Chain A
Amino acid sequence: DAKTTQPPSMDCAEGRAANLPCNHSTISGNEYVYWYRQIHSQGPQYIIHGLKNNETNEMASLIITEDRKSSTLILPHATLRDTAVYYCIVRVSGNYGQNFVFGPGTRLSVLP
């Protein structure tokens, strides 16, 4: 199973871009990278996912390196409401079926 590594915490100034890194050096060719966030112990919220191309939606952009061993989630204009724990997840296939493995994530603090 591919594992992910994220920094435990990051700060970002309000209005600036927040760049959250994730390493997934053992990712397999058919595994996707997903990003979720959890605001103040609510249920995790889906942000974005991708396979190998960069992706963008109304919430964020996802940049995946060419070798797919790492990715970066970009919140282009962070607001105070973006303060949350961000999880980078690689979808696991096999015995666990369509499982998600959550690590401790990155606690992003957006500062005024």
Chain B
Amino acid sequence: NAGVTQTPKFQVLKTGQSMTLQCAQDMNHNSMYWYRQDPGMGLRLIYYSASEGTTDKGEVPNGYNVSRLNKREFSLRLESAAPSQTSVYFCASRGDRGMKNTEAFFGQGTRLTVV
């Protein structure tokens, strides 16, 4: 049982390049999230998906797109990376009401640097 798995763990991009951050969970959770965390700050929600086939914007969605490929996978895409997107990105999934655990489980993060 791996929990929430993010790939890659580290990435350096040049300004204007695109890339996709991958996230997969094996806990059969409906809800999945993407956050970013800048130095010394809390996590800010970028996008979330309450269930397969649905996605919604969070606090800081500009410059990002997401895809809920299936129940397990939720990807985050940067179409044209900017230095302001240098951050640590966390994916999370959460148990739903009626499940034994409703807490959120987080991946280990992707450290992205845009130069």
Contacts and interface: CB of A to CB of B under 8 A. Distances in A.
B105 interface: yes
Interface string B16-31: 0000000000000001
A99 B48 contact: yes
B109 A41 contact: yes
B54 to A, nearest CB: 9
Contact of B43 (A42, A44, A97, A98): A44
Interface SS majority for chain A:
loop
Contacts, number: 59
A46 B42 contact: no
B103 interface: yes
B74 interface: no
Given A45-B106, A46-B103, A96-B58, A105 B42 contact: yes
Given A97-B48, A98-B31, A99-B58, A42 B42 contact: no
B114 interface: no
Interface residues of A, number: 20
Nearest to B94: A98
A43 interface: yes
B103 A34 contact: yes
Interface in B48-73: 48, 50, 56, 58
A44 B3 CA distance: 13
Contacts of B35: 102
A43 B45 contact: no
Contacts of A104: 40-42
A93 B91 CA distance: 20
Interface in A31-50: 34, 36, 41-46, 49
Interface of A: 34, 36, 41-46, 49, 87, 96-105
Interface of B: 4, 31, 33, 35, 37, 40-45, 48, 50, 56, 58, 88, 90, 92, 94, 96, 102-109
4 closest cross-chain pairs (CB), A and B:
A43-B106, A102-B43, A46-B103, A102-B42
